[in-house]
């Protein structure tokens, strides 16, 4: 059975790939982007199966308008994929107020506005699936991406909470957590803070780690996983994409648990009774 799928950030990267995969198999797609001209070829190829809408997710008003237009056009929204977002490179000290606020506005509040807009529709339908594109950097962290890490940690907490709030309405929530992929995320889509020389060593180590091309997956290879996720009757709350994410997460949690246990006597005494 075909589905109606609303995707933000559909002009490039994962959003574009997944939108075309859904259309190719017969789903209906609402593809949103700040500039919809890049979606004209999909409109020409798939016709009435795709609705393209201009959307800046930073605007709560635009987000609600786009979701309502999608509902009016297709009659329902089965799946939302909150994919819009970008990377901000720079250490914590280097990050300007403007860049930090803009990163959180897009990666966190943009996702929140679209989520809030679609929830009444899905509650009325009695079903729905909201897929939040997070990152393995919502589980663990890398230096030189501090505000991006923070944005994805926020998405994780928001979405895990949401899952407990809407489960009785027939609405599923999934956090998709890719490791690095060879998209434009670190290229044309990214922003870079102004460098402070004191952090040159941190930056050099980061760049050296990013030079290992084996850690970056092939974006097109994610498509079968996303199709399977959308079709799942009982989708998971979390889904890694790529082979690097799970071993890295395991290592991170082992380190956390060991440290918590080492300090557990202090923690227990702080309870006071």
Tell me which residue has tokens 């079968």: 224
CA distance 218 to 27: 24
Q: Minimal CA–CA distance to 206: which of 184, 188, 186?
A: 186
* Cα separation of the two ends of the chain: 57
The set of catalytic residues is: 134, 148, 152
| Sign of the dihedral through C-alpha 39, 9, 188, 229 | negative
Please check whether residue 48 is in contact with residue 30, taking contact to mean a CB–CB distance below 8 angstroms. Answer: no
CA distance 39 to 191: 23
Please check whether residue 240 is in contact with residue 178, taking contact to mean a CB–CB distance below 8 angstroms. Answer: yes
Neighbours of 208 (CB within 10 A): 9
């Amino acid at each position: 059975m075909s589905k109606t799928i609303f995707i933000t950030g559909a002009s490039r990267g994962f959003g574009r790939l997944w939108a075309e995969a859904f259309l190719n198999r017969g789903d209906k797609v609402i593809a949103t982007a700040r500039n919809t001209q890049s979606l004209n070829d999909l409109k020409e190829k798939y016709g009435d199966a795709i609705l393209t809408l201009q959307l800046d997710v930073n605007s709560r008003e635009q987000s609600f308008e786009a979701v309502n237009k999608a509902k009016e056009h297709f009659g329902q929204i089965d799946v939302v994929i909150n994919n819009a977002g970008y990377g901000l490179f720079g250490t914590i000290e280097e990050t300007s107020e403007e860049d930090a606020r803009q990163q959180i506005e897009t990666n966190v509040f943009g996702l929140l506005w679209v989520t809030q807009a679609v929830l009444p529709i899905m509650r009325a339908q009695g079903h729905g699936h909201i897929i939040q594109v997070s990152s393995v950097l919502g589980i663990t962290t890398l230096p030189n991406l501090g505000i991006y890490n923070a944005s994805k940690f926020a998405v994780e907490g928001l979405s895990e909470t949401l899952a407990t709030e809407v489960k009785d309405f027939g609405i599923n929530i999934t956090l998709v957590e890719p490791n690095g992929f060879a998209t434009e995320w670190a290229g044309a889509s990214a922003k870079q803070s102004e460098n402070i020389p004191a952090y040159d060593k941190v930056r050099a180590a980061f760049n050296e780690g990013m030079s290992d091309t084996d850690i970056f997956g092939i974006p097109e290879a994610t498509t079968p996983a996303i199709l399977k996720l959308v079709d799942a009757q009982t989708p998971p709350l979390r889904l890694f994409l790529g082979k690097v994410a799970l071993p890295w997460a395991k290592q991170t949690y082992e380190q956390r648990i060991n440290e918590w246990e080492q300090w557990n006597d202090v923690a227990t005494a702080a309870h006071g009774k």
